[in-house]
Amino acid sequence: MMNDWSLARILADLHQDIERRLASARQTLGHSVAKGNASERVWLELLQTYLPQRYQAQGAFVVDSKGDFSEQIDVVVFDRQYSPFIFKFEGELVIPAESVYAVFEAKQAINAPQVEYAQKKVASVRKLHRTSLPIPHAGGVYPPKPLPHIIGGLLTFESDWSPALGESLTGALASAPERRLDLGCVAAHGTFGCDLDGCYAIVPGGKPATAFLLELIARLQASATVPMIDVRAYAKWLAT
């Protein structure tokens, strides 16, 4: 019997489903907040469905052991396998900085103000203090794990620029390392990614949502496991 399965079709269908749902949210919902919330849900459901189970994705705030908080983040990819605690307060999720792998803003369209907004949100997470303890093992103790780079990015349906992914985009993306957007998807037009040297590659067309998902997974694999959190650094707040 001939095998009529097609990996190309499966990957294409995944992108088409995401693009269709984002387009529907933009065209059908009349309120800007409702549109934004729907877009966030589309991206969150993509990551919640397809990321390995060691990762979780939610909208959240991020906190450090010094008591500083990030701004509210649309999509936080965080560790749940080794993270000892995730807080829930009045319906909001609060995640310790050490547990964060990646943060993304989800918007209807990409433009210069939205890029700057996303850069600001990403920087509010990267500036937080992160602990890293030595790791005991059967033969002794491993030194503290170096703090991994927190991936930051922007996820949208379409672009306000013409051309959609041209010089206006690359100009807007230029920033200091702490504000840098490493990875992004414009579902109707393509993807962009930044290497460790700060050089951007723009990939127009293709199946952007699927390409983004696979590239994110590859980058998460490369970042290995989050550091061992110093729980006592957080416990000191019990005395205040």
Q: Tell me: the pLDDT tens digits for 91-103?
A: 899 999 999 999 9
Determine, yes or no, domain membership for 236.
Answer: no
- List 107, 121, 182, 207, catalytic entry: 107
Determine, yes or no, domain membership for 178.
Answer: yes
- List 19, 40, 64, 74, catalytic entry: 74
Give the pLDDT confidence score for residue 89 in this predicted structure. Answer: 87
Compare 47 and 6 and report the one with higher pLDDT. 47
> Would the pLDDT of 63 be above 90?
yes
Q: Is 145 a catalytic residue?
A: no
Determine, yes or no, domain membership for 58.
Answer: yes
Q: Is 35 a catalytic residue?
A: no
Give the pLDDT confidence score for residue 30 in this predicted structure. Answer: 52
Arithmetic mean of pLDDT, 128-142:
89
- Residue (of 209, 174, 167) closest to 190 by Cα position: 209
Determine, yes or no, domain membership for 4.
Answer: no
How many structural domains are present in the chain? 1
Determine, yes or no, domain membership for 239.
Answer: no
- Residue (of 86, 62, 88, 63) closest to 75 by Cα position: 62
What's this model's pTM, rounded to 2 decimal places? 0.92
Determine, yes or no, domain membership for 109.
Answer: yes
Determine, yes or no, domain membership for 146.
Answer: yes
Determine, yes or no, domain membership for 94.
Answer: yes
> Would the pLDDT of 201 be above 60?
yes
Please tell me the distance from the alpha carbon of residue 88 to that of residue 106, in angstroms, as a whole number.
Answer: 22
- List 64, 105, 121, 207, catalytic entry: 105
Q: Is 74 a catalytic residue?
A: yes
Cβ 215 vs Cβ 20: under 8 Å: no
pLDDT of 212-232, one tens digit each?
Answer: 999 999 999 998 788 889 999
Range of the domain at 169: 9-229
Count of residues making up the chain:
240
